[in-house]
Amino acid sequence: MSLELVLITGMSGSGKSVALHALEDAGYYCVDNLPPELLMQFIALQHEQRSERVAIAMDVRSGVSLPLVPQQLETLRRDGVSLRSLFLDSTTDALVRRYSETRRRHPLSRQESRNDAPETQRVLMQAIELERELLAELRDGADVIDTSIIRPAQLQSYVKLLISAPQSALTLVFESFAFKRGVPLDADYVFDVRMLPNPHYVPALRALTGRDEPVIDWLRQHDDVARMYGDIENFLSRWLDALARDHRSYVTVAIGCTGGQHRSVFLVEQLARGFGTRWAALKRHRELDGV
């Protein structure tokens, strides 16, 4: 059996330790902050010990050795290692807020003044943007999870969901969200469905979601909803084969409405069901999961 490796990278303060704990709970042998210089030797040791599932967290603390990682990952793939790469991201505002709340210093910031001082905030934002630049190549080759407004329990569920997906040429992640809470950073494609008829204005449907039969039946009565589904389906059907040929592992399709309760949830459910007959298809409901 080939070794299964999950690499977790991402922005400092984005929840990498939470994700690593989720993998530990799932039976992975986990190592935090492994220096890239030791990656190949570590994997060789795991082969010798006949390990099956390993998870490694790497981040900007590895400094100048980070550029080694993409080539190392390509070598591991050629050697038969089953590799999944997850990148945790958050908005700059969310990261600044977390650092302010925890009174921690960013690993790229040497500022020693108070966390809530204006100069400290400025230096912190500069450090975060520098970190984005340093991690850009790792982000491009990974499945991205936006942790800006999700709870730790949601993040743990998302990580376990992704690693449980079959290793196929392409995994589709359909995600519903509310525009009023921001567009997910992890989206490859975003579709705005706020112009569709809204069950929120039907008193009997307001407290329900797009997974409930009364809402499903109501939305199916509207031609615009069917046309929107058809347009999204046609777009994805046209381009998914090309994405698979480009060696993409994951594609996240985000569907947004005003509150993330009805229309976007309905379409995500339908799209995941429709595309699940050919591709591995996962679902996320940002405003519902973990509620």
Per-residue model confidence as pLDDT tens digits over 199-236: 999 999 999 999 999 999 999 999 999 999 999 999 99
Would the annotation count 11 as a binding residue?
Answer: yes
pLDDT, the chain, mean: 90
Number of H helices, E strands in the chain: 9, 9
For 94-114, the pLDDT digits (tens) are 999 998 887 788 888 765 445
Q: How many CB atoms neighbour CB 9 within 10 A?
A: 24
**What is the token pair recorded at 206?**
């307001």
Ligand-binding annotation for 82, yes or no, is no
Find out whether 237 is annotated in a ligand binding site: no
Overall pTM > 0.85: no
Tokens of 226: 């069917």
The reply to whether 228 sits in an annotated binding site is no
Is residue 132 annotated as involved in ligand binding? no
Strand order in the sheet with 189-192: 189-192, 250-257, 171-178, 280-285
Task: Enter the tokens of residue 241.
Answer: 């084969």
Residue 59 is assigned to a ligand binding site: yes
Please indicate if the annotation marks 17 as binding a ligand.
yes
Type and span of the H or E element at 18: helix 16-25
Residue 178 and residue 260 in contact, taking contact as beta carbons nearer than 8 Å: yes
Of the pLDDT bands very low, low, confident and very high (cuts 50, 70, 90), residue 164 is confident
For residue 194, count other CB atoms closer than 10 A to its CB. 14
* DSSP secondary structure code for residue 178 in this structure: E
Do the annotations mark residue 60 as ligand-binding?
Answer: yes
How confident is the model over 236-247, as pLDDT tens digits? 999 998 888 877
The annotation status of 10 as a binding-site residue, yes or no, is yes
160 is in an annotated binding site: no
Q: Does the structure show a pLDDT above 80 at 1?
A: no
Cβ distance 154 to 290 under 8 Å? yes
Burial 141-178 (b: 16+ CB within 10 A, else e): bbbbbbbbbbeeebbbbbbeebbebeeeebbbbbbbbb
In this predicted model, what pLDDT tens digit does every residue of 25-51 receive, in sequence order? 999 999 999 999 999 999 999 999 999
> Known binder of ligand: residue 62?
yes
